[in-house]
Amino acid sequence: TTQGYAALTLETLPSRLGEVAAARARLGEPAAWRAREVGDGNLNLVFIVEGPEGAVVVKQALPYVRLVGESWPLPLSRSFFEHEALVRQAARDPGAAPEVFHFDREQALIVMEFLDRHVILRRAMIEGRRIAGLGRRLGLFCARTLFRGSDLSMLAADRKADLALFAGNAALCDITENLVFSDPYRDAPMNRHTPGLDALAARLRGDMAMKRVAQHMKWAFATQAETLLHGDLHTGSVMVSDDDIRVIDPEFATYGPMGFDVGMLVANFLMAFCAQPGHASDPGARDAYADWLLEETAAIWSAFVGEFTRLWRTERAGMLYEARLFEAQGCGLGAEQARLERLAAIWRDALGFCGVEMHRRILGLAHNADFETIADEAARAACEARALEIGRVLALSRDAAPDMAAALETAREIAGR
Ligand code: SR1
Ligand code: MG
C-alpha cells in the first residue's frame, strides 16, 4: 500500500526526518542540515544528509521503477526486505553491510551509515583503481552469507520461516526472472543494445542451446531455495575505499541457489575486464589493470571455497550433511567428499548465472556503466561483443565443469589477451 507514504523531497526532508530521533542524534539540528539526492540506481531515491554533527544516507523506495517511470509500479515492500536482509548480513558477515540507524516501513525508508570515503566499485573499475583484497573480501562475503543463511547452518524451523518471509519479495524476483533469464533471449520491448550488435543479438536469440541453459538457470533461480541471496550482487552493489569494502543494496534478497550471487559477481568482474580497451588510453596500464581484474575474479572463487570449507568444518550445525551422520561411519571423509560435490554444484550453477548476467547487461533493459561510458559506439560494440561470447561459452560449458583457471583462460582467449 502507498497509504500514508510520501516520497521525500529536498524541501520536506529536514522537517520529516527531523522527527526521527536516530537521525537527529547523528546529524544535529535539522535547521542546519544540507541534503542532496544522489540516487543513480534503477529503482530508488538516495539522499546524503549532512548536519553539524555528522552525515547519513537516506534511501527511500519509490512506488515505481525509477529507470522506467510511473508506468511500471513496484511495491514499496522491497524496502522492508532490504532492511531484513541488511540485518541478516550484518550478523552473518559483520562489517560487510552499512550500519542501519533507522527503518520506517510505512515510508519505505532506511537511514544508514554514510560511507564518505567510499565510491561505487563499478566507478573505481572504470577509473582503473586497484582495491587491495577486493576479490577475497567479496568471496568471504558470499561464503559467509550464503552458508549461514542455509540449512547447513540455521535451525530448520528458522530457515523455513525466513524462506516464507522472503517469498513476499516476489515482485523483485519477477524482475530478475524476466529481465535476466528471458528478455535478453527474445525481442522484448524494453531491450536495447549498441548499434553494431544487431547480428550478434539475433544469433544469440536464435541459439537454442543458450536459450535452454538460460531457462535451466531460471528454473534454478525460481526453485532452488538453498539460501538467502543478496539477489543483485553486481559491482554497483559494492562500495570501496582504499582500506574498506562494503556490500550495499540487498533489496532483491530472496531464497535461491548459492551460485547466483557468485555467478553475478564474477560476470560483473568479467564485464569490467572486457570494457578495459574502451577506457584507458595507455595500453600498457590498461592491460596490466585487465590482468589484475582477472586475478581478483579468481580470488572471489578461491576465497569462497576456502571460507565455505572452513564453515563446513566448523559451523555445520543445520540439518544438512549432519556431522554425526558421517562420523557414524568412522571417518570424516564422507563429509569432505560431500563438500567437494556441493562446491562443484555451486560452481556449475555460477557459470550458468554468470553467462546470462553478461548477456542481459548488454542486450536487455538494465545496462552497465562499464560499457555505457565508452562513448565511441564501435569501440563499445567490440567490447560488448567479446563479453557476449564469453558469457555464451561459459554458460554452455558448465556441464564440462571448467575450473576458474580454465574459465579465465576462455575469457582471455576470447578477449584476445
Ligand atoms: C528494473 S530494475 C533493473 C535492474 O536494476 C537492478 O539493479 C537489478 O539489477 C535489476 O535487474
Ligand atoms: Mg541496486
- pLDDT reported for residue 328: 65
Separation of alpha carbons 269 and 347, rounded Å = 16
Could you list which residues have their CB under 5 Å from ion ligand 2?
41, 249
User: Which residue, judged by its Cα, is nearest atom 2 of ligand 1?
Assistant: 42
Q: What is the ipTM of this complex?
A: 0.98
CB neighbour class for 417 (10 Å; exposed up to 12, middle 13-18, buried from 19): middle
Separation of alpha carbons 76 and 110, rounded Å = 12
CA of 266 to the centre of ligand 1 (A): 17
Residue 128 has pLDDT above 80, yes or no: yes
Please check whether the two domains, 13-113 and 119-415, share a CATH topology: no
Atom of ligand 1 nearest to the CA of 65: 1
Specify the pTM.
Answer: 0.97
What region, left, alpha or beta, does residue 54 occupy, with left being phi > 0 and alpha being psi -120 to 50 degrees? left
Supply 13's cell numbers.
526532508
| Other C-beta atoms lying within 10 Å of the C-beta of residue 63 | 14
Residue 99 per-residue DSSP state = P
CA of 310 to the centre of ligand 1 (A): 33
Q: Is 272 in the pocket of ligand 1 (CB under 6 A)?
A: no
Q: Is 232 in the pocket of ligand 1 (CB under 6 A)?
A: yes
The dihedral built from the CA positions of residue 39, 41, 45 and 49, taken in this order, carries a sign that is negative
CA of 330 to the centre of ligand 1 (A): 49
- Given ligand 1 and candidates 43, 82, 221, which is best to mutate, with the most ligand atoms within 8 Å of its CB? 43
Residue in the structure block whose three cell numbers are 536516530 = 22
Q: What is the mean pLDDT of the chain?
A: 96
Question: pLDDT tens digits for 351-372?
Answer: 999 999 999 999 999 999 999 9
CA of 260 to the centre of ligand 1 (A): 15
Supply 115's cell numbers.
560511507
Q: For the residues 240-254, what does the mean pLDDT come to?
A: 98
Question: pLDDT tens digits for 283-293?
Answer: 888 999 999 99
Supply 254's cell numbers.
530472496
Question: pLDDT tens digits for 368-380?
Answer: 999 999 999 999 9
Q: Is 264 in the pocket of ligand 1 (CB under 6 A)?
A: no
- pLDDT reported for residue 333: 79
Question: pLDDT tens digits for 8-19?
Answer: 999 999 999 999
- pLDDT reported for residue 222: 98
Q: How many CA atoms within 13 Å lie on the side-chain side of 270?
A: 38
Residue 114's nearest CA partner among 34, 43, 172, 42 is 34
E strands of 114-187, at which residues?
119-120
Atom of ligand 1 nearest to the CA of 179: 11
- pLDDT reported for residue 186: 98
- Residue boundaries of the structural domains of the chain: 13-113, 119-415
Supply 288's cell numbers.
596490466
Question: pLDDT tens digits for 193-238?
Answer: 999 999 999 999 999 999 999 999 999 999 999 999 999 999 999 9
Residue 1 per-residue DSSP state = -
Q: Is 65 in the pocket of ligand 1 (CB under 6 A)?
A: yes
Supply 359's cell numbers.
548477456
Instruction: Check if the beta carbon of residue 214 is closer than 8 Å to that of residue 182.
Output: yes
- pLDDT reported for residue 302: 98
Q: Is 178 in the pocket of ligand 1 (CB under 6 A)?
A: no
CA of 35 to the centre of ligand 1 (A): 26
Residues in contact with 21: Cβ distance below 8 Å, sequence separation at least 6, in sequence order: none
Distances (CA, A) of 345 to 30, 220, 299, 340: 52, 12, 19, 9
Q: Minimum-distance ligand to the CA of 42?
A: 1
- pLDDT reported for residue 102: 98
Atom of ligand 1 nearest to the CA of 72: 1
Q: Is 366 in the pocket of ligand 1 (CB under 6 A)?
A: yes
User: Which residue, judged by its Cα, is nearest atom 11 of ligand 1?
Assistant: 176
- Given ligand 1 and candidates 175, 251, 271, which is best to mutate, with the most ligand atoms within 8 Å of its CB? 175
Instruction: Check if the beta carbon of residue 30 is closer than 8 Å to that of residue 13.
Output: no
Query: Rg of the Cα trace of the chain?
Result: 22
CA of 39 to the centre of ligand 1 (A): 14
SS3 content of the chain, % helix, strand, coil (to 5): 55, 10, 30
User: Which residue, judged by its Cα, is nearest atom 3 of ligand 1?
Assistant: 366
Query: Which pLDDT band holds residue 331 (cuts at 50, 70, 90)?
Result: low
**CATH superfamily, domain at 13-113:** Phosphorylase Kinase; domain 1 (3.30.200.20)
Separation of alpha carbons 104 and 201, rounded Å = 43
Q: For the residues 109-119, what does the mean pLDDT come to?
A: 97
- pLDDT reported for residue 330: 60
Which residue type sits at 164? A
109, β-bridge pairs: 60, 104
- Given ligand 1 and candidates 42, 78, 81, which is best to mutate, with the most ligand atoms within 8 Å of its CB? 42
Residue in the structure block whose three cell numbers are 515505481 = 64
Q: For the residues 327-337, what does the mean pLDDT come to?
A: 76
Domain over 119-415 is classified CATH 3.90.1200.10 = yes
Percent of the chain with pLDDT over 70: 99
Q: Is 179 in the pocket of ligand 1 (CB under 6 A)?
A: yes
User: Which residue, judged by its Cα, is nearest atom 8 of ligand 1?
Assistant: 232
Supply 132's cell numbers.
587491495
